[in-house]
Structure 1
Amino acid sequence: MSQMEIFDRRAVAAHRTRAAPRLAKVRPVLDELAFRVLDRLDDTGRRFRLALDIGGRGAVAPLLNARGIEVVTCDISPALAHGTASVAGDPEFLPFGPARFDLIVAHMSLHWVNDLPGALIQLRQALTPEGLFIGSLPLLGTLSELRSALIEAEEVLTGGAAPRVSPFPTLADCAGLMQRAGFALPIAEREEVDLEYAEPFALLRDLRDAGETNALSARSRRIPPRALFPMALATIAGSAGRLRINLPIAVLSGWGS
């Protein structure tokens, strides 16, 4: 296995396929995040004709269509590549020629990519010379409490811990990647989203229903101890049993060159 294979891309596709019929359960969160990201289009003063939606899970394309933009959707899961113009494809091996789109949106879909620098370069190349790229992905700190709680609980139960939460980049990492990919006028901004759950297991259900469960190549294939998740979640829930989660997101933008 290559050192670059941090994520099992087949597992990513399988998780998103499994989530396809359940996305309605997390639609409000997906739509709110997409609205926040795409609100930046108003600041450009530009009219876009043809957009590529990478992995938007049905939240991005309707917002772009409402602006009069024709949209091609692309997802690693064929079950999520649907619409009048859609392609099942992997952003690590983008199935489009150069200078194809004047807008590309990769919303919350690049954090499971092994070769993120390479994917960003391919996305830039698919832009017209004056096209715009907008992307978003979780930042370092996402699910940090859950990560720590799972490690501690699993060490108590089994004497060791398997990786269960993905590594995430810093905002500085994202800014550097945009520059490295060759975007003109690259910007990396931080967006904060606060979520609250009436009971802790609702967080795990939302992650499953959004297709965001563990796809690390180094993940354990064994069934976890039955007590693992209840023990871990109990340590991070509040006194009333409610769970508050902060989701820091990087919103990236840059122009073709």
Structure 2
Amino acid sequence: MEQTLVDRMALARRRARASGATFLHEEAAREVSERLAEVNKSFTAPAVIGPEAALWADLLGLDAVQVPDDDVLALEEGAHDLVVHGLALHWANDPVGQLVQMRRALRPDGLMLAALFGGETLQELRRAFSDAEVEVTGGLSPRVAPMGEIRDLGALLQRAGFALPVADAMPLTVDYADPLALMRDLRAMGETNVLAARHRAPLRRAVLMRAAELYHQHFARPDGRITATFEIVFLTGWAPAESQQKPLRPGSARTRLADALRVPEHSAGEKAGG
């Protein structure tokens, strides 16, 4: 049986207690809005997925169907020409399954855009907690959820059957008064640890305090404030359509490479540059 990565019930409880710190959603949505503006296409049947779907639809100026990021997405097959997944795909137990569902919800030549946290996110906090826990307890438990690396995330688009797949990232550095202020912000975002394999006992105060010390020691600015990295990865793919550009079959090129590069062509076995 496949192991569950995310405790979705705990995630729902954390999100319900979140106090509306949405600045990262706003930043990611602005980036997506700019990308949509560059697409020479009008979208008439959009859908937005995620815990802040209403905020995303408003920021993108879309009259969109809004659905939660449940394991099974409430999307009708072939009903949409645009699907946006708003900064939540990193909490999916089956991200490929989510991408497949989005592709199936798209009409031919429909566009999918997903924003999610990537592998560089909270790297400072991850290091501080792991070092502190080993030092204080002699053991290690997952405190910060692992995020996908951009190369792996890009490969998911191909596995899900999208055409013209693209993955790129936008790093953001946010400064805080201290590590505890960062942790409070993560709670306000609903982005705290909900890994199924997390240690269920309360975090020992000694570990927390030592993690804060190590964070400040390694990642404080000259003015005493600390920095936190958030990497937002954007996945873009199109539902396959006959009208889209397709790669040429091997051997079907009509222009020789040598002609394109304006260099002499050498036959097999002939030494170039001799």
| TM-score normalised according to structure 1 size | 0.86
- CA separation in 1, counterparts of 2:25 and 2:77? 29
1:161-186 Cα deviation digits (max 9, x unpaired)? 21111111111111110011111111
Alpha carbons 2:170, 2:233 under 8 Å: kept = yes
- CA separation in 1, counterparts of 2:101 and 2:24? 28
Aligned to 1:253: 236
Aligned with 1:53 (options 1, 23, 48): 48
1:11-30 correspondence runs (5 A): 11-19=10-18, 22-23=19-20, 26-30=21-25
| TM-score normalised according to structure 2 size | 0.81
Determine if the alignment matches structure 1 residue 193 to structure 2 residue 172: yes
Q: Which has the larger radius of gyration?
A: 2
By how many angstroms is 1:105 displaced? 0.7
By how many angstroms is 1:56 displaced? 5.1
Aligned with 1:34 (options 22, 29, 35): 29
Alpha carbons 1:139, 1:248 under 8 Å: kept = yes
Could you tell which deviates more after superposition, 153-162 or 105-114? 153-162
Please report the RMSD computed on the Cα atoms of aligned residues, expressed in angstroms: 1.6
- CA separation in 2, counterparts of 1:156 and 1:45? 55
By how many angstroms is 1:247 displaced? 1.5
SS in 2 for 1:3: coil
Amino acid across the alignment from 1:51 = P
Determine if the alignment matches structure 1 residue 5 to structure 2 residue 1: no
Aligned to 1:80: none
- CA separation in 2, counterparts of 1:56 and 1:30? 10
Q: 5+ residue gaps in structure 2?
A: 241-274
1:150-208 Cα deviation digits (max 9, x unpaired)? 11211222221211111111111111100111111111111111111122211111111
Aligned to 1:71: 64
- CA separation in 1, counterparts of 2:179 and 2:211? 10
Query: Percent identical across equivalent pairs?
Result: 39
Higher strand share: 1
